């Protein structure tokens, strides 16, 4: 599928400034950087504010997705992330998407 559609998927790729979790590209023109963080990581906010931006510059793209997997201890980090995103957007800067994923452990439906 990837070959037929000129798609390239690179997990844990070294950008020269660090290892990004994923890079997706269509040819050489359209690139998206995806960075994942667990909610209990103390660098969740800095990861969006600085790390993702550095990876985007290294890969010469303005497109990024920041995925926060909420496993607890998120605190106010979600509000901080959204404020940074909204402030950047208001200034007309490149804004990466933020996706929050519920990573809580649940009982299997077959065991309910």
Give the whole-angstrom CA distance, residue 94 versus residue 51. Answer: 14
Q: Digits of tens for pLDDT over the chain (112 positions)?
A: 888 888 899 898 888 777 889 999 997 778 999 999 999 999 999 999 999 999 999 988 989 999 999 999 999 999 999 999 999 999 999 899 999 999 998 888 888 7
Strand partners, 102: 70
* Cα–Cα distance, 59 to 46 (Å, whole number): 19
Per-residue confidence (pLDDT) for residue 25, from 0 to 100 = 92
**pLDDT reported for residue 6:** 87
9 - beta bridge partners? 24
Q: How far apart are CA 106 and CA 100, in angstroms?
A: 17
How far apart CA 93 and CA 26 sit, in angstroms, is: 23
Q: What is the DSSP string of the chain?
A: -TTTTTEEEEEEEE-SSSEEEEEEEETTTEEEEEEEEETT-TTHHHIIIIIHHHHHHHTT-S-EEEEEEE-S--TTHHHHHHHHHHHHHHTT----EEEEEE------GGG-
Q: Is 11 within 8 Å of 21 (Cβ atoms)? A: yes
């Amino acid at each position: 599928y990837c070959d037929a559609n000129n798609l390239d998927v690179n997990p844990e790729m070294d950008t020269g400034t660090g290892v990004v979790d994923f890079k997706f590209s269509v040819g050489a023109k359209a690139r998206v950087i995806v960075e994942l963080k667990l909610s209990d990581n103390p660098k969740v906010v800095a990861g969006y504010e600085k790390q993702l931006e550095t990876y985007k510059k290294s890969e010469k793209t303005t497109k990024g997705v920041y995925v926060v997997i909420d496993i607890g201890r998120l605190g106010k980090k979600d509000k901080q992330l959204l404020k940074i995103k909204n402030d950047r957007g208001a200034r007309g800067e490149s804004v990466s998407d933020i996706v929050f994923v519920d990573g809580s452990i649940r009982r299997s439906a077959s065991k309910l």
